[in-house]
Amino acid sequence: MNDRVATRRHDGGRITRQDLERQFQHLQDDVTEITETKKTSITLLAVAGVAAGLFVAYLLGRRGGRRRRGVIEIRR
């Protein structure tokens, strides 16, 4: 890239406010499109992560309950 700030368009004219707004709008549209396509996969990964966390917590809770379970002996 050139380290000088661009002050002219390719056709020789000056960069106008409309040129900048058009380019920023184009950039924002691209970012919005990318996030919309990735939103589903991110949501699925988050749900899978929460489910895995709950499953691990369940297994650890069962293990802890088994370790603390005492043997009760009843005599007559």
How far, CA to CA in Å, does 12 sit from each of 19, 29, 50?
13, 27, 56
Burial track 28-67 (b if 16+ CB lie within 10 A, e otherwise): eeeeeeeeeeeeeeeeeeeeeeeeeeeeeeeeeeeeeeee
CA 4 to CA 24: how far, in whole Å?
A: 20
| pLDDT at res. 1 | 45
| pLDDT at res. 2 | 47
| pLDDT at res. 20 | 92
| pLDDT at res. 10 | 67
Q: What is the pLDDT along the chain (76 residues), one digit of tens a residue?
A: 444 555 566 677 788 899 999 999 999 999 998 888 888 888 999 999 999 999 999 988 887 666 666 667 788 7
pTM of the model: 0.46
